[in-house]
A and B are shown apart, each in its own frame.
Chain A
Amino acid sequence: MSWHVQAPTIDAYISGRIDAAAAFSVEAHVLACSQCRESLSARADPDRHERIWAGVREGIERPRERAVERLLRAIGVRNDLARLLATTPMLQGSWVVAVALTLAFGVIASRAAGGDPLPFLALAPLVPLAGIAAAFGRPADPAWELELSTPTGGFTLMLIRSTAVLAVSVLLAGIAAMFLPHAGWEAAAWLLPALGLTVVTLAATSTRLSTVTAAGTVSCAWLALVVVTDRLSDRPLAAFGPGAQLAFAAMTAAAAVILLARHTAVERPTRI
């Protein structure tokens, strides 16, 4: 830099008592000269300087909000609940995509099987189970131990996350079911099983089983049930008929009761 702005000019510039050409010159020069920038900084208003920085700092530290979180808050959900819901793995982009693809596969398989909804109906209840396995407990949740020591990190968090998982699963499966060929009552026959299996899985996590093991076991049992009833019964969709639906409703209620009864075991396990 061959020249620098003189102190009187700087003062004039800051106070605004400067002619236009001189101001132009100062401004263009400052863009290229760190020394003159420093001269200006030295005359800064410290309160304003810190005030602006506080805003910047808040902006960079502020927890990043996902679209889901914004949506939840927009419909009136309180900010902390919205955050707990939105940080559930199931509500994140990659998960939604994976689930959508799985359900699409189920629909395609059904269409390929000549309109037999069994592939889709067998698959749909597994979606929330996968979500549960990823939503809390070991090994999916790395912070499980810390969470358990907090007032809401045990049973409450489990309920919040499970609700999120179920809601998203039901929503996506419901949309997918609309694409089933000649969808009648079958388009909703997966709903009670999905609910029932989810609550059973949650009840199972109150034992020594990890969430993944519980979800995995229940999933296998479900698939086995579907396959076996399909083979053994002459009625199509035996696992989804009115009797079966009643059975699932009863199972859901029973599992819910067990879960509530064992809520201490979830909150303060004997085995970790």
Chain B
Amino acid sequence: MRGRATTDQELIVAVGEADAAALRALYDRHGTWLTIRLARRCADPATVEEVVQDTFLAVWQGAARYRGEGEVAAWIWGIAIRRLIDRLRTRRQTAELPGRPDPEPSAEELVLLGIEHGDLASAMGRLSPELRAVIQATALDGLTTREAAHLLGIPQGTVKTRLVRARRELRGALA
């Protein structure tokens, strides 16, 4: 059909023109990693499946609004994680699509994300699960402290204090 492989951006444009085959193609590319990643943040498989469905439905409806900034995968993740948060909060569908791209990760977070093994990895491993969870939510998933609070089901203040502690412990390990 097409000479070279279609880019994600091209698929999004097609989805914006109500091309269901393009949505299926996007789903075939992104559905699996999304499902697995969400499953690592929500224990209930039924909720995970519903969120994945809702995400691609949102992609269908909002394709025209994708401005081509950054990776399509990151855009999809932003939609999905916020849908998950909404569900965990209210058990109802309400989230808006993010209008702006996620903020740039800090230098520390970049270091965190780029290394597979080594001292940092073992330092991460030494963090307690609660501290690791807040780092994951903020640094990796790109959530605000408030969103992280909703996701983890803890007060916002607790997220902030845990972040401070986690960073302090990691800095200590890096020093």
Contacts and interface: CB of A to CB of B under 8 A. Distances in A.
Q: Is A in direct contact with B (CB under 8 Å) within the complex?
A: yes
Interface of A: 9, 13-14, 16, 19-25, 27-28, 30-32, 34, 37-38, 40-41, 43-44, 48-49, 51-53, 55-57, 59-61
A31 B73 contact: yes
B136 to A, nearest CB: 6
Interface residues of B, number: 41
Contact of B53 (A14, A37, A56): A56
Given A19-B125, A21-B121, A52-B49, A60 B57 contact: yes
Contacts of A27: 37, 140
A213 to B, nearest CB: 37
6 contacts: A9-B116, A21-B125, A40-B33, A41-B33, A49-B28, A52-B27
A48 B120 CA distance: 36
Interface in B15-42: 20, 23-24, 27-33, 35-37, 40
Contacts of A57: 20
B16 to A, nearest CB: 13
A60 B20 contact: yes
A30 B140 CA distance: 12
Given A25-B115, A60-B57, A37 B33 contact: yes
Contacts of A41: 28-29, 31-33
B132 interface: yes
A48 B39 CA distance: 13
Contacts, number: 101
Interface string B47-76: 001101100110010000000000101100
Given A20-B136, A28-B113, A59-B57, 17 more contacts: A19-B125, A20-B127, A22-B117, A25-B113, A27-B140, A28-B140, A31-B74, A32-B71, A32-B73, A41-B31, A41-B33, A43-B32, A48-B49, A49-B31, A52-B31, A52-B53, A56-B56
Contacts of A30: 33, 37, 73
Contacts of A49: 28, 31-32
A190 to B, nearest CB: 43
Contacts of A32: 71, 73-74
Chain B residues touching A, majority SS: helix
B114 interface: yes
Contacts of A21: 112, 115-117, 120-121, 124-125
A24 B140 contact: yes
A20 B128 CA distance: 11
A18 B23 CA distance: 31
B29 A37 contact: yes
Contacts of A55: 49-50, 53
A44 B39 CA distance: 13
B7 to A, nearest CB: 9
Contacts of B28: 41, 49
B171 to A, nearest CB: 16
Contacts of A9: 116
Interface in B97-127: 112-117, 120-121, 124-125, 127
A50 to B, nearest CB: 10
A23 B40 contact: yes
Nearest to B129: A20
Contact of A48 (B35, B40, B56, B73): B35
A31 B53 contact: no
A137 to B, nearest CB: 30
Q: Which 7 A-B pairs have the closest CB atoms?
A: A21-B121, A44-B32, A21-B124, A55-B53, A28-B113, A41-B32, A59-B57
Contact of A56 (B8, B57, B139): B57
Nearest to B75: A31
Contacts of B24: 53
